[in-house]
Amino acid sequence: MRNRNIMTKSIAASLSLILLGIGFSMAQSAENSSDTTSALTTFYVSATGSDENSGLSTTDAFATVTRARNAIRESRTGDTSKRCVVVISEGEYPQPETLVLGDEDSNTEYVGEGAGAVLSGGIRFQFQRLASAAEKELFPANDAEIWVYDLPKVDDAPLFFEQLFVNGRRAVRSRFPNDGFLIPESIWEEFPMNPQTRSVDHAVTPQELRARTGDLDDLKLEEASTEVLSFAQFIVHHNWDTTRRIIRSYDKETRALRCEGVPMKSWNPWRDSSLYYLENLPMAFDQPGEWFYDGVNERVFYRPLEGEQLNQTSFIAPVSGLNCLLDINGSKVGVDEAKKTTSIRFRNVQFSYTDAASGNTQVKPGVSGHGPTQFEPLQAAAFTTGTVRISNASDIIFERCRVKSTGEYAFVIMDCSDCQIIRTDMEDLGAGGVRIGDGSMDRHNQVVNCNIVHGGRFFASGTAVWIGQNTEDTLILHNEIADFFYTGVSAGWVWGYNGGHAFRNCIEYNHIHHIGQGALADMGGVYTLGRSTGTRVCNNVIHDVDSYGYGGWGLYPDEGSEGILFENNLVYDVTDGSFHQHYGKENILRNNILARSKKNPAKPDQPAHQIAVSRIEDHLSVTIERNIIYWKDGVALGYNANNAKVVYDSNLWYNATSDATFGGLSHEEWVKTTGKDVNGIVADPLFVDPDANDFRLKSGSPAQKIGFVPFDYTQAGVQPE
C-alpha cells in the first residue's frame, strides 16, 4: 500500500508540473510574441496620444485601446491570421464602455509597459469644499471635518454610485453598526413562496424585518423622510446568501424596516437568527473614512482619515452600469456550433473600477429616475458578471495582469477551452475571483499562480473560484485565496444525484485561508456538488474557515458529490469538521492531515467534530484511509460519521488533551464493535510544533505504521518563478 501511495503521489506531482509547464511555456510563447520585430503590425497606445494619430510609433500613439482595436481590424481586412501587437504605455486609460473583442480580433496581444497600463471604468473627481455648519446638522459627531461633492448631472439625473474608492481604498458607505451585524427579532412577508412547489403567486411582495428592542434607537429612523430612506438599504445575510433591500419606511412602534421584493426562497429565507446591517443613512455617517450619498440634496459627503487633504485626495466612482470592461466573445454560428475567438493575450494590464448593477435581479426605487439597487439572493452571487468576460473562445491568456476594485467578479469564463489566467492578482472584488462553466462545455481552462484576495465586498456570497456544470479538466493550481466571506473554491453546481457533468477538475496546491469570517454559513475551503468523476482536491493547505450558524468546514463534499479524491491536504483551525460530507457517493479521503477542528459557536452544547458525515445512504459514501486526525477539543466523529456506510482503514487519531472517543467508545472498543478502522491506531503523530502550525513529522513518527506518506505542504500557494 505504501509503494502504491508513493507512486500515486509521484504521478500527481508530475501531472501538476506538466500542466504548470504547459502554462508557462504558453506564457513564454506569449512573451516572445510581444517582440514587435516578428509581428506583422504593432500599434502603440499612450495616455498622451491621440486617436487621430497613426498609432504606429510611440511618438504617434493612439490615446485609447478601443482605437487600437479598430486599427487592427482596418489593417487586416478580415484576415485574422496576421498577428498584431498593441503596446500600451504605463498610465490610466478611461474605458467608459465595454471593450468588445470578437472573432475578428483573434491572434492579437495587448502588452502593458512599465508598472502597467490601467483600463479604468471609473470617474475621477475631487471633493470641492468643506461642509457648512448647516449641512453638518444632518449628521452625528458633526464637529468633525466633513467634505462635500456637489453631484453633476448625467442624462438629466445626478451622478449616482454605490461604491467609492479613495486613494485606491474602497471606502465604507455610512454603515450601522460600524462593525459586525445586528440580529432581527422577527421576519414577515405577505406572499411567501410555496415550499412544496417552490413557486410564488406574486412577483413582488411586501416584507418586514423587525429589529430587536433598542437596536435601532440611536438612528432615530422615525425622523427620516421617505425620500431619505429610499436612498438607504439594509442587507440580510441568511445562511449562504445575501439579500439587499431598499428601505421603504420604518415603523417605530413595531420597529419594522419595510421593503418589497421577490418572495423569499423557502429553502433559505431570512430568519430571526439571520444577520443584517444598514447602509447610507445620514444618522450612521459617524466614522473617519466613511462616505454618504445624499440623494435628496444631490451631494456626497466624506469624513477624511487623519492626514488626508482636501485637494490632494483621489476619488473614483465607477461609471453607472458599467460592470464589464472587457468582453471577449466569439460569434454564434448556427445552433450547435460557435466560431470561437482564439489566441488573444493580455500581459501586464490592469482592469479596475467597475459597477455592481447586474441584470434583471435589481430594481430601482424611482427617486428622480435614479437611486440605489437591490438584489435577490443566489448562491455564489451567480447572477453577476465579470470585469473581464470570456465566452465562445479558446487560447485566451491573461499573464501578470491585475483586476482590482470591482463591483462583481474579476473573470467570468463560459463555453471556452484552453484559456489561462497566470500570475494575475485579483483583489478588492465586489463578488468573487474567477467563475468558469455553466455553459454548454468548458474544457482545459487554468487558473495558475494567482493571488485572489479580499472578495465579497458588495456581494458577500461571491466565491473566490467557482467551477460550474459542463466543465472538464479545469486546473486550479498554486493560488493564494484569502479574505472572502463564503467558499474558497466551489466545484460542481448540481444538487443531488441528478447527473451533472464536472469531470476531472483539479484543485491542487492552493493556500486557502480566512474564509467565511463569521458572516455566512454552509461553506467550505473547498466545496463540491454533484457527480464529479475524476476530480482531484489534493495538496492544498486550508485553515481559518469560520462560519456563522453552521458550516465552516475545510473539505466539504455537499449534496450528491461523487467520485472525488481528497488527498495530501493539510486542514486546520476550521469549524465543525476538517472534512464534512453532507451526502455523496464513493469519494476518497486519503493521506491528509486534519487538525484542530473547532466547536461550532452556534451549537455550544455539541462537541467539536473532526470528521463528519450527515446522511446515511444505501451505497458507500466515502472511504477514509491513512489520514492523521489531530485535535484538542471534542470527539473524532460527528453527526452520522459512525453510522453511515463509510470505510475507515489505517488512520492515526490523537486527542492532545484527552482520550480519543468514537461514538462514546475508545478506539479499541469502536473497532471491536463496528469492525471499522481495523488497522488504525491512536498515537501522538509527533508533529514538529503543532501549536505553531508546524505539522512536519519528527523522526520515528507512528504515522509510518499506517502507511502515511509525508507531503511537502509548503508547496501550496503562489510559487516563485
Q: 169-198, pLDDT tens digit by residue? A: 999 999 999 999 999 999 999 999 988 888
Percent above pLDDT 90 for the chain: 83
Give CA 281 to chain center in angstroms.
28
> 357 by DSSP, 3-state: which?
coil
For residues 242 and 459, is the Cβ–Cβ distance under 8 A?
A: yes
Model-level pTM?
0.93
User: 419-430, pLDDT tens digit by residue?
Assistant: 999 999 999 999
User: Rounded to 10 degrees, what is the CA torsion of 44, 32, 435, 445?
Assistant: 150
What's the rounded Cα separation, in Å, for the pair 574 and 566? Answer: 17
| CA-based nearest residue to 475, from 24, 5, 7, 4 | 24
What's the rounded Cα separation, in Å, for the pair 430 and 85? Answer: 31
Residue 652 has pLDDT above 90, yes or no: yes
What integer pLDDT is reported at residue 20 of this predicted model?
43
> What are the phi and psi torsion angles at 228 (to 5°)?
-60, -45
What integer pLDDT is reported at residue 584 of this predicted model?
96
What integer pLDDT is reported at residue 373 of this predicted model?
86
What integer pLDDT is reported at residue 539 of this predicted model?
98
Residue 369 has pLDDT above 60, yes or no: no
Residue 121 has pLDDT above 80, yes or no: yes
Please state the rounded mean pLDDT for residues 695-712. Answer: 98
What integer pLDDT is reported at residue 70 of this predicted model?
97
Please state the rounded mean pLDDT for residues 685-707. Answer: 98
pLDDT band at 9 (very low <50, low <70, confident <90, very high): very low
Mean pLDDT of the chain: 91
Start-to-end CA span in the chain (Å): 35
User: 233-278, pLDDT tens digit by residue?
Assistant: 999 999 999 999 999 999 999 999 999 999 999 999 999 999 999 9
What integer pLDDT is reported at residue 338 of this predicted model?
62
What's the rounded Cα separation, in Å, for the pair 492 and 436? Answer: 11
For residues 467 and 508, is the Cβ–Cβ distance under 8 A?
A: no
- Give me the count of residues in the chain: 721
Percent above pLDDT 70 for the chain: 92
User: 438-487, pLDDT tens digit by residue?
Assistant: 999 999 999 999 999 999 999 999 999 999 999 999 999 999 999 999 99
Which residues contact residue 699 at a Cβ distance below 8 angstroms, ignoring those fewer than 6 apart?
none
What integer pLDDT is reported at residue 332 of this predicted model?
61
What integer pLDDT is reported at residue 480 of this predicted model?
98
pLDDT band at 129 (very low <50, low <70, confident <90, very high): very high
Query: Which helix (H) or strand (E) segment is 33 a member of?
Result: helix 2-33
What integer pLDDT is reported at residue 219 of this predicted model?
96
Residue 580 has pLDDT above 60, yes or no: yes
Residue 6 has pLDDT above 90, yes or no: no
What integer pLDDT is reported at residue 77 of this predicted model?
82
> 69 by DSSP, 3-state: which?
helix
Q: Which residues of 557-575 are buried (b: 16+ CB within 10 A; e: fewer)?
A: bbbbbbbbbbbbbbbbbbb
For residues 505 and 473, is the Cβ–Cβ distance under 8 A?
A: yes
Residue 531 has pLDDT above 60, yes or no: yes
Indicate the pairing of strand 425-427 with strand 420-422: unpaired
| CA-based nearest residue to 266, from 235, 241, 233 | 241
User: 18-77, pLDDT tens digit by residue?
Assistant: 344 444 343 444 444 444 444 579 999 999 999 999 999 999 999 999 999 999 999 998
**What are the E-state strand segments in 280-370?**
290-294, 299-302, 315-318, 326-329, 331-333, 337-339, 341-347, 349-352
| CA-based nearest residue to 382, from 406, 363, 359 | 359
pLDDT band at 503 (very low <50, low <70, confident <90, very high): very high
**Running DSSP on this structure, what letter comes out for residue 164?**
-
Indicate the pairing of strand 175-176 with strand 275-279: antiparallel
What's the rounded Cα separation, in Å, for the pair 473 and 533? Answer: 11
Please state the rounded mean pLDDT for residues 137-148. Answer: 92
Largest Cα–Cα distance of the chain, in whole Å? 84
Residue 364 has pLDDT above 70, yes or no: no
